[in-house]
Amino acid sequence: MTPPSFPTTPRQKHYDVVIIGGATTGTSIAWHLSTNPDFHGSVLVVERDPTLQHSATKASNNCMRQQFATKINIKIAQYAADFVKQFGERFGSEPCVPNPPIRDFGYLYLSDSEPFTKILAKDQQLQTSLGAGTRVISPAEIKERYPFFYADDLHSGSLNTQDEGCFHALGMVEWMRKTAIENGVEYIRNEVVGMAVAHDQIQTLELLDGQTIHVVDKVVNAAGTRAAKVASLAGIDDLPVEARRRYTYIFSVDDPLPQDLPLTIDPSGVHFRSYTDRDYLVGCPPVGPDVAVDVDDFSFIEDAWKEKVLPIISRRIPGFSTARVTDSWVGHYEFNTFDQNAVVGAHSSIDNFLFCVGFSGHGSQQAPACGRGIAELVVYGEFRTLNLSALSYTRIVEGRPLTERAVI
């Protein structure tokens, strides 16, 4: 789809809801509002870059999984799978709508120690209690199912091929945005640079070019890696969200594998999967410390391919020793340093300021459920479909982390 050319000037001065950030999360909120029959207000989405060129959306590895360690994240993932499987029904038979909507080659966590196997087994019990198809399998079972793996150093694996794999995240966002606009949501290309707060309410927003927007009901911070900067405009300095660098490489090999490669998380943290029928995707954090980076810095500061990726993938799958990079990019996680979980819901004192941020690499698949949740808060004042209160901002203020350890 050709990126839209949004105006820079809003059509009106007052809006019921203003969403700051128009990528995956902001667009999910807008879409769920615009399709809710009980919502009749006006919605403005303010997005710095309609092309989403440097957004987490554009750099997404398009992953879909239920293998999480917290109940709420498993339920969020299950809604994402249901939502994406209805993609064609919701958005029509357009070229960007994949068939099937989820490429179910699965997720495979590899363990090289008994302690980590115990963690995987504990998580598997939680996942299966909620209906996920996860199984903990032995190295022999791994070799039987995927004979191309080197498994002599493995202790176990955690595998699910039911609603786990990849999907077309950018296509989902493009068509949600298109539908939201058709339903009356207004998008502008601009940036919020100031907020006026009075009586525990955001009253007005100032745009980069000096324009002022008056807010009637809610302001939603869906600004991704810029979420902490946006929060600071309202005097909030404790939102623990920062940008973290992540590398992605697409590579080909002389002899492609005879079957799909599940998204495999090596004990080193490097993860890789099938990309198309004949090439592969691999992602990893930095070679050195995983620290905050400038939100506009998408440089390759190290040769992660040679220093980290190639040695690991060629050891785990010897046939990958001939791997050649055909494409690569640097993306950013909007990393929640507090507990690696999303922050969803109202601020503790500015009650018309809502958050939908901090997804720590899971935004593409968590945006449908969290966008629906924010829409429900706006329309009904409560979560109605899935209770997301465990992800509230209040937990940060009260020092109650809900740690998600299954973060790649």
How far, in Å, are 27, 57, 163, 232, 249 from residue 332 at the CA level? 19, 10, 25, 20, 14
Rounded distance between C-alpha atoms, residue 104 and residue 93, angstroms: 20
Q: For residue 5, what pLDDT is reported?
A: 80
- Mean pLDDT value of segment 225-243: 96
Instruction: Give the rounded percent of residues in the chain with a pLDDT score beyond 90.
Output: 84
Residue 85 above 90 pLDDT?
no
What's the pLDDT band for 96 if we cut at 50, 70, 90? low
**Phi then psi dihedrals of residue 296, to 5 deg:** -105, 5
Residue 181 above 70 pLDDT?
yes
Question: Among 19-23, 52-56, 181-185, 329-333, where is mean pLDDT lowest?
Answer: 52-56
Architecture of domain 1-106+162-240+337-408: 3-Layer(bba) Sandwich (3.50)
Q: For residue 51, what pLDDT is reported?
A: 86
What's the pLDDT band for 86 if we cut at 50, 70, 90? confident
- Mean pLDDT value of segment 20-29: 96
Instruction: For residue 184, give the nearest of 44, 327, 65, 358 by alpha carbon.
Output: 44
Q: For residue 55, what pLDDT is reported?
A: 77
Domain with CATH 3.50.50.60 in the chain: 1-106+162-240+337-408
Reduced to 3 states (helix: H, G, I; strand: E, B; else coil), residue 59 is helix
Q: For residue 93, what pLDDT is reported?
A: 54
Mean pLDDT of the chain: 93
Rounded distance between C-alpha atoms, residue 166 and residue 164, angstroms: 7
pLDDT digits (tens, 9 = 90+) for 257-276: 999 999 999 999 999 999 98
What's the pLDDT band for 7 if we cut at 50, 70, 90? very high
Rounded distance between C-alpha atoms, residue 191 and residue 235, angstroms: 17
pLDDT digits (tens, 9 = 90+) for 298-335: 999 999 999 999 999 999 999 999 999 999 999 999 99
What's the pLDDT band for 1 if we cut at 50, 70, 90? very low
Rounded distance between C-alpha atoms, residue 245 and residue 21, angstroms: 20
User: pTM here?
Assistant: 0.94
Q: For residue 99, what pLDDT is reported?
A: 59
Best CATH choice for the domain 242-336 from the list 3.30.9.10, 3.30.460.10, 1.10.150.240, 3.40.50.1970: 3.30.9.10
Domain with CATH 3.30.9.10 in the chain: 242-336
Whether residue 375 contacts residue 383, with contact meaning beta carbons closer than 8 Å, is answered with no
